[in-house]
Chains A and B, each alone.
Chain A
Amino acid sequence: DAKTTQPTSMDCAEGRAANLPCNHSTISGNEYVYWYRQIHSQGPQYIIHGLKNNETNEMASLIITEDRKSSTLILPHATLRDTAVYYCIVRVGNSNSGYALNFGKGTSLLVTP
């Protein structure tokens, strides 16, 4: 699976949009971009995933550049409960190894009042 690069940490004011970038310049055509987050000491939580089109769900939006070498996760109105480590993961959609995820160190997002 392709490697990803994320900033170590970011701050965001409560109520503002949080934009979390991710670089995945070596992504191949059959690899999806997944986002998970881990709130302190809890198990990771799935947020969203996409292949090449932008995606939106009740939690967030995912913007993938046309060349697919980078993406941005957008939390439109961050709340204090969105403080967490956010992981950008690239993986093949249907792999013989199942759904093994390669978590890096992620971005530690701090939402401030």
Chain B
Amino acid sequence: NAGVMQNPRHLVRRRGQEARLRCSPMKGHSHVYWYRQLPEEGLKFMVYLQKENIIDESGMPKERFSAEFPKEGPSILRIQQVVRGDSAAYFCATLGEGKTEAFFGQGTRLTVV
């Protein structure tokens, strides 16, 4: 996974709470992609960020979801007022040096109860 770190690995939230998922790409890597994988489904692209900028958020739900990648620190995917349908695995990825392959983290499994 080329050192892409995600935490927490597992997150349980009650309906209505906020979920914060963190992704730390390798040092010096400034591109982060977030994906969501619902049970029994393939991964769906959510958002693409470069440091401090959102480049493509075409896959993000219009409400309750936001993402950032500040100059210092990890990228954060924030889900406000979670609902049961938000239960999924959330993966982030960064690009390899040749920018032809993506390296994924191990994911955060969000369970909303």
Interface set, chain A 44-79, CB cutoff 8 A to B: 44-46, 49
| Majority secondary structure of chain A interface residues (helix, strand, loop or mixed) | loop
Question: Judging by beta carbons under 8 Å apart, are B55 and A98 in contact?
Answer: yes
Question: Judging by beta carbons under 8 Å apart, are A97 and B33 in contact?
Answer: no
For A46, the chain B residues whose CB sits under 8 A away are 96, 101-103
Instruction: Check if B69 is an interface residue, CB within 8 A of chain A.
Output: no
Question: Judging by beta carbons under 8 Å apart, are B1 and A43 in contact?
Answer: yes
CA distance A97 to B95 in the complex (A): 13
Question: Judging by beta carbons under 8 Å apart, are A100 and B101 in contact?
Answer: no
**Interface size, chain B (Cβ < 8 Å):** 30
Question: Judging by beta carbons under 8 Å apart, are B45 and A100 in contact?
Answer: yes
Q: What sequence of 0s and 1s flags, for each residue 91-111 of chain A, a beta carbon within 8 Å of any chain B beta carbon?
A: 001000111111111100000
The residue on B at minimum CB distance from A87 is B42
For A105, the chain B residues whose CB sits under 8 A away are 41-42
Question: Judging by beta carbons under 8 Å apart, are B33 and A100 in contact?
Answer: yes
CA distance A85 to B102 in the complex (A): 17
Known contacts A42-B106, A45-B104; is A97 also within 8 Å of B48 by CB?
Answer: yes
For A87, the chain B residues whose CB sits under 8 A away are 42
CA distance A106 to B40 in the complex (A): 11
Q: Give the interface of A toward B (CB within 8 A).
A: 41-46, 49, 85, 87, 93, 97-106
Contacts beyond the supplied A87-B42, A101-B102, A103-B42: 14 A-B pairs with Cβ under 8 Å: A42-B106, A43-B107, A46-B103, A49-B100, A93-B100, A97-B58, A98-B56, A99-B33, A99-B48, A100-B48, A100-B59, A101-B43, A101-B45, A102-B45
